[in-house]
Amino acid sequence: MTLPTPAAAPPADPPSFGTRLAGAMQAHGRLCVGVDPHPQILRDWGLTQDAAGLREFCARVLDACAGRVGVIKPQVAFFERFGVAGMQVLSELQQQARAAGLLVIADAKRGDIGSTMAGYAEAWLSPGGDFAADALTVSPYLGFGSLQPALQAAEQHHAGLFVLALTSNPEGQQVQLATDAEGVTVAGRIAAAVAARSTTAEAGLGSIGLVVGATTAGLAAAHGIDLSAGRMPLLAPGYGAQGAGADDLRRGFGPSYSSQVLVNSSRGILAAGPDAESLTRAIEGTLEDLR
């Protein structure tokens, strides 16, 4: 008598983005290296202003990051300016980085409504896509509800989102610190909405977080915005070349700094190039400063 073959167990779901991010920060620290091939950086590195120069830039940065940091954040605009060839390099970078064990946050700041937002989300978060990233930066300034397609895609694909809240550009405060009839700021409403989504995380960090500038983090406490709610991951640009130091981060974020804050550094590290040894020293020095 032939016994039936047992049915194969369904594949386990991959860990959430928040869980992966918490693991990366525990293993490598809170530094996220911004991959920003600004025209001046390419010139300073002696690289050509074309896809070939862009590809060489990415290879050097990725080589310095792999095994030393847990997260990179390509600035999509600096790849888009080279057209199709630039976007091909971005696709290669993101795939190579993830294969090397790095998490990738695509800094594209997408924001739209309905099927258009769904299209953006699938382009950047679908695992099989050319631009598949672990997380995407998004803009909520068509209303937080406009992000619903992206929130659904992030949940479906076990990916993350970083929602713009208190950005480091001064003009952002005109909108972000505007108050409603109840005296609550726009940034406060966004933070509360994100915290409500993050509380569904099973462990560690939530998968839906905020972008809060290193130079503006102190405004949260001043305006009654709770950054610790829901264990939201907090992506903090503005450190280093943009003016904020490690002490500013600790004061601005308060208790949230120790476990929720991922600090982005772009120019502060890239300015050390073009040789790999100098980039490595800059990364290691930054990691030590942020501990």
Catalytically annotated residues: 109
The letter for the amino acid at 248 is D
Q: By the 8 A CB rule, do 62 and 69 touch?
A: no
Could you give phi then psi for residue 176, rounded to 5 degrees? -70, -30
DSSP-derived secondary structure for the chain: -PPPPPPPPPPPPPPPHHHHHHHHHHHH-SEEEEE---HHHHHHTT--SSHHHHHHHHHHHHHHHTTT-SEEEEBTHHHHTTHHHHHHHHHHHHHHHHHTT-EEEEEEEE---HHHHHHHHHHHH-TTSTT--SEEEE--TT-GGGGHHHHHHHHHHT-EEEEEEE-SSGGGHHHHT-B-TTS-BHHHHHHHHHHHHHTT-SSSS-SEEEEE-TTTTHHHHHTT--SSGGG--EEE--BGGGSB-HHHHHHHHGGGHHHHEEEEESHHHHTT-SSHHHHHHHHHHHHHHH-
